[in-house]
Amino acid sequence: MLVPGLGWAGLRLGGWEPGRLIQLMAFTPYVAIGSMILAILTLILRRRAAGLVASLIALVLAACVVPRALPDLDRGPGRGVALHVMTANMLLGGADTAEIVRLVRENDVAVLALQEFAPKTAAGLTAAGLDELLPYHSLAAEPGASGSGLYSRFPLVDAGSKRNDGSFLQAFGTVRAPGAAPVFVESVHPLAPSAPDTFSGWNADLANEPRSDGGNPRRILLGDFNATLDHGALRKLIAHGYRDAADTVGKGWIGTWGPYDGDLIPPVIIDHVLVDEQIGVRNVSVHAVKDSDHRSVVAELTLPAAS
């Protein structure tokens, strides 16, 4: 009974996720809970050697997942220009566009990133009044799951889109909010690791996302990353100058994908807002979106002031 947990802990610590383990690794928080139950059981039964190993497994996995529920002492700069950003996956363009506009309005969203952005999505958002709230945009609409959109209240310069190795488009641009330093924003959507022939593309897409260390301008990546914080590939990206907004404020356990369209899948967290370490994180909230299998993520950020 201890062998699976021991193997899981080793793979998680080493950042190894070969083959189907990419999919399974997303459920590490549930394995951590199970390991704690097993540790308690072995101790109750006075199986001391097994209890020691089980307790070690439980401690290792707890160390991996528990900090996400605890706010970081360092949330980045607290002073600067407030900016609320939001990401939502539109499920092949079929999500309720009026619901998206309502969330933008109620949460004072200034930058909106959308994935699975179809032509009908753009039309529906315009009809619902989004263009009045967020008049600047970089749109790369396509039928199906590959389209991408980025909307902004403030001027969006050097805007465009790129197609990643997994064939999904990612819209991007540099937001120039009044009084704030320019910040590069990209709507992220790596290939989903849904089958063996997608695993290498998933790894490549995450490895090729823009980094925010070195001499780069400040960056925000937000979207459907198709990866959790238990995936080594995502942690490697974050290590290049980012912080995960939900993890930073202690809300890293709130599910964003899984059972929200009726599928019998435990909630997992694959939608993220990654911000440059020079950008502060004030709060994060997660909201249901009608007719989508994802929930939207809103992050309240603080941009550094313009120099």
The per-residue pLDDT for 110 is 98
The per-residue pLDDT for 217 is 83
Structure tokens at 239: 């290590």
The per-residue pLDDT for 263 is 87
The per-residue pLDDT for 270 is 98
Give pLDDT tens digits for 122-180. Answer: 999 999 999 999 999 999 999 999 999 999 999 999 999 999 999 999 999 999 999 99
Mean pLDDT for the stretch of residues 20-38: 92
Q: Which amino acid is at 114?
A: L
CA 264 to chain centre: 21
* Strand order, beta sheet including 183-188: 156-163, 169-175, 183-188, 219-224, 271-276, 242-244
Give pLDDT tens digits for 186-204. Answer: 999 999 999 999 999 999 9
d(CA 114, CA 147): 8
The per-residue pLDDT for 5 is 85
Distances (CA, A) of 170 to 53, 147, 253, 286: 45, 8, 26, 22
- Taking the CB of residue 213, how many other CB atoms lie within 10 A of it? 12
The per-residue pLDDT for 234 is 97
pLDDT band at 220 (very low <50, low <70, confident <90, very high): very high
**Higher-confidence position of 226 and 41:** 226
The per-residue pLDDT for 269 is 98
Q: Where are the alpha helices (DSSP H) in 71-172?
A: 97-106, 119-127, 130-133
**What is the Cβ-side half-sphere exposure of residue 18, based on CA atoms within 13 angstroms?**
4
Distances (CA, A) of 115 to 59, 223, 292: 37, 7, 11
Q: Which residue has the tokens 């290792």?
A: 60
Q: Are 113 and 137 in contact (CB under 8 A)?
A: no
pLDDT band at 15 (very low <50, low <70, confident <90, very high): confident
The backbone torsions φ and ψ at residue 269, rounded to the nearest 5 degrees and listed phi first, read: -115, 95
Mean pLDDT for the stretch of residues 266-271: 97
Give pLDDT tens digits for 32-91. Answer: 999 888 888 888 888 888 888 888 999 999 999 999 999 999 999 999 999 999 999 999
pLDDT band at 6 (very low <50, low <70, confident <90, very high): confident
DSSP 8-state class, residue 45: T
The per-residue pLDDT for 161 is 97
- The residues, ordered by sequence, that sit 6+ positions from 268 with a Cβ below 8 Å of its Cβ are 26, 27, 228, 255, 256, 257, 258
Structure tokens at 251: 């809300």
Domains of the chain, start order: 2-69 (no CATH), 81-303 (3.60.10.10)
d(CA 200, CA 279): 31
The per-residue pLDDT for 245 is 98
